[in-house]
C-alpha cells in the first residue's frame, strides 16, 4: 500500500485529499499545515508520495519541495495549486515535482496524477 503525505494549510483541503486517498486504498502517512512541518514529517514518515500545496505560511510549497528534493532526490511530489498559479507550477516542475493538480480537487484527476507518478 502506498503512503502519502498531505501538505496544505487548509484543513478542509487536507480532508478532501485524505478522503479520496483512503477510499482508493492509499495510506495517509501524515498531514502537514506548512512547508516546515512537511519537511520534518517527510524525514520521519518517509512517504511514497507527497501532495504539496504551493501557497502556505512559514514556508511555501516551492521551498519545501526544494528541501525535500535535497533530502531525497527520488522524492515523488505532486503540487496542488489554485487557478492562476501557472508560473509557480512550472517552477515546481523544473525543480523536480512530478505533476500538479488544481483546486478544487476532482477525485478522478487526483487519482490519475497519483497513479501516473507511482507507476
pLDDT tens, 20-43?
Answer: 999 999 999 999 999 999 999 999
**Are 117 and 49 within 8 A, CB to CB?**
yes
Give the pLDDT mean for 37-65.
Answer: 96
**pLDDT by residue (tens digit) across 61-112?**
999 999 999 999 999 999 999 888 889 999 999 999 999 999 988 999 999 9
**Are 81 and 66 within 8 A, CB to CB?**
no
- Most distant pair of Cα atoms in the chain: their distance: 34
Domain positions in the chain are 3-118
**Distance between CA atoms of residues 20 and 92, nearest Å:** 23
Is the pLDDT reported for residue 118 higher than 90? yes
User: Would you call 116 helix, strand, or coil by DSSP?
Assistant: helix
Reported as type and span, the H/E element at residue 52 is strand 49-53
> Residue 1 has what pLDDT?
83
**Distance between CA atoms of residues 77 and 39, nearest Å:** 12
Please name the fold of domain 3-118. Rossmann fold (3.40.50)
Is the pTM above the cut of 0.85?
Answer: yes
Give me the phi and psi of 8, to 5 degrees please: -165, 140
> Which cell numbers in the block locate residue 42?
517527510
The residues pairing with 31 across neighbouring beta strands, listed in sequence order, are: 6
Amino acid at each position: 500500500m502506498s503512503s502519502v503525505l498531505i501538505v496544505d494549510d487548509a484543513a478542509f483541503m487536507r480532508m478532501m485529499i485524505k478522503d479520496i486517498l483512503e477510499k482508493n486504498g492509499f495510506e495517509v502517512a501524515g498531514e502537514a499545515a506548512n512547508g516546515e512541518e512537511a519537511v520534518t514529517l517527510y524525514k520521519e514518515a518517509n512517504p511514497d508520495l507527497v501532495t504539496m500545496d504551493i501557497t502556505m505560511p512559514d514556508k511555501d510549497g516551492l521551498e519545501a519541495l526544494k528541501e525535500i528534493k535535497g533530502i531525497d532526490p527520488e522524492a515523488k511530489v505532486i503540487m496542488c495549486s489554485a487557478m492562476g498559479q501557472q508560473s509557480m507550477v512550472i517552477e515546481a516542475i523544473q525543480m523536480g515535482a512530478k505533476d500538479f493538480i488544481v483546486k478544487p480537487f476532482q477525485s478522478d484527476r487526483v487519482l490519475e496524477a497519483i497513479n501516473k507518478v507511482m507507476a
